Amino acid sequence: MKWTKIMVWIVVIGLSVCFFGRNHWNLTTEQTKGILNQYFLKNEEYSFSRMLFRMSNVLFALESTERKELTPSPVPVIPESVPAAVSKTEPVLRNQTSFQPNLSALQTMSLPFLPIESTSNPQVLIVHTHTSEGYFPEERTSDSQRNVIATGEVIASYLTEQGIKVIHDKTVHDDDYNGSYSRCAETVEQQLKKHPSIQIVLDVHRDAAVLEDGKSLRVISEINGKQIGQIMLVVGTNEGGLEHPTWETNLAFALRIQQAMDRVAPGLSRPLNIRKERFNQHLAPGMLIVEVAASGNSLEEAKEGALVFAKSLCLVLK
């Protein structure tokens, strides 16, 4: 019994050290498993080492698709409202990676899924990783008439009116915030398997931040006398250690949409956000996160922004 307890504690401590090392030194899954293999499995006579390695494989398999989604991120505090992208000659980016993509080349890059073909099969999939994200005054709500499902429906309806076949999957993925990206990935994979004609996947969110005065972030542009919630596109990369070799294709697609928004409604588009996280965008070359307005915006402002985004997207797709 004594040795059993010792073995259990060794397993627990070993796993804790490995996971701490992974996050602290930004190791990938394969790198961490390699360390486990090198330092534990070379002593095959110890049964606890084999058990440790097997347990680690199970835990890695169950781990969330995005490491940052393991625990809810706090709402950031920013000093002032976020401006829209104002340049009409060069893309305006908020690059949170060390990558320096060739924007000129990406803007003229040929995208195999554009223009979309005329077909009776589904062409666009809309999903929501954080389905319960709501608008002011509700930070979160399960009411699909008042959360991001409502803004996704605006996009889906307009695309459908323009003859584009859309599936709006309203599956709730954030009953438990942890693992929501993994659950959304399963939904996307199921839809892509069922409908291989889908090339465009939009993960519709709403942004959130708190200003220094405690108020929720409200991103707004006045266009033709209307108060319209701004749009931010988010593109993931492989810098966080997850495989995503074609992220620049997703970025090229996002750049096209941002340019179209600048033509349709100058000042509506916020700087395009490039991130270290992958955000499931390896699943489709035309997959993006679309942040429709923010937590300080009203639902009507968000819907107006979603409509302008949909009109801009149509210009790119056809």
Asked if residues 220 and 227 have their Cβ atoms less than 8 Å apart, the reply is yes
User: 94 and 34, same structural domain?
Assistant: no
* Structural domain ending residue among the three candidates 12, 34, 62: 62
Predicted TM-score of the model (pTM)? 0.75
**In terms of DSSP bridges, do strands 93-95 and 166-168 run parallel, antiparallel, or are they unpaired?**
unpaired
* Predicted pLDDT of residue 46: 45
User: 72 and 28, same structural domain?
Assistant: no
User: 85 and 46, same structural domain?
Assistant: no
* Residue that has been written with the tokens 């969110």 in this structure: 205
User: 227 and 84, same structural domain?
Assistant: yes
pLDDT digits (tens, 9 = 90+) for 26-60: 444 444 544 445 444 444 444 555 555 555 544 44
User: 55 and 14, same structural domain?
Assistant: yes
pLDDT level of residue 2 (50, 70, 90 thresholds)? low
User: 80 and 54, same structural domain?
Assistant: no
* Predicted pLDDT of residue 41: 44
* Predicted pLDDT of residue 43: 45
| CA-based nearest residue to 314, from 123, 92, 89 | 123
DSSP 147: B
Kind and range of the H or E element at 30?
helix 29-40
User: 99 and 48, same structural domain?
Assistant: no
**Structure token digits, residue 234:** 């988010």
User: 81 and 226, same structural domain?
Assistant: yes
CB neighbour list of residue 214: distance below 8 Å, 6 or more residues apart: none
CATH number at residue 215: 3.40.630.40
User: Which amino acid appears at position 241 of this protein?
Assistant: G
Asked if residues 248 and 106 have their Cβ atoms less than 8 Å apart, the reply is yes
Torsions phi, psi for 165 (to 5 deg): -80, 125
Residue 295 lies in domain = 67-317
Q: Give the mean pLDDT of the chain.
A: 81
